[in-house]
Amino acid sequence: MRRWLRAVLIFVGTLLMVTTATYRYAYGTWWQAPARIPYCGRTYIPVTAHLSLAEVRQRESQTALPGDQPYAVVPIGKAPPVLGAKMVAAVTPEAQREKLGVPCAMGLYVKTGDDEFTAYGITGGP
């Protein structure tokens, strides 16, 4: 019985260490608001805090591709996954991304309060 308990404790401890290291590697921080967010093959970093959902929608309404309507701001997941904060973005449709070689989204927004988001901007070049 003791061997079984010891094996479980070792397994749980190892799982916690691996999860923590993975989080640190992916998000650049230890269990805080992400310093970076990997999404759709790109990396996003925080640029503006304390935005309301209305402000997020207003910002995204001004970022449509030439000749196109602005894309709706939709939920895209959580950062970090499962237990993290809700993320939203105006995602460019896949057909447009492939045709024009543009990223999935130019910005992501992480929910930080009841009606408060932090904007994350895309890094790097095309």
pLDDT at 30: 63
The answer to whether 44 and 107 are in contact (CB under 8 A) is yes
Over residues 102-106, mean pLDDT: 90
Cis peptide before 80 (omega within 30 of 0): yes
Number of other residues whose CB lies within 10 A of the CB of residue 113? 10
User: pLDDT tens digits, residue range 56-84?
Assistant: 999 998 887 777 788 999 999 988 776 77
Mean local confidence (pLDDT), 98-124: 92
The per-residue pLDDT for range 2-13, each reduced to its tens digit, is 888 888 899 999
80 and 34 in contact (C-beta within 8 Å)? yes
Q: What is the pTM of this model?
A: 0.76
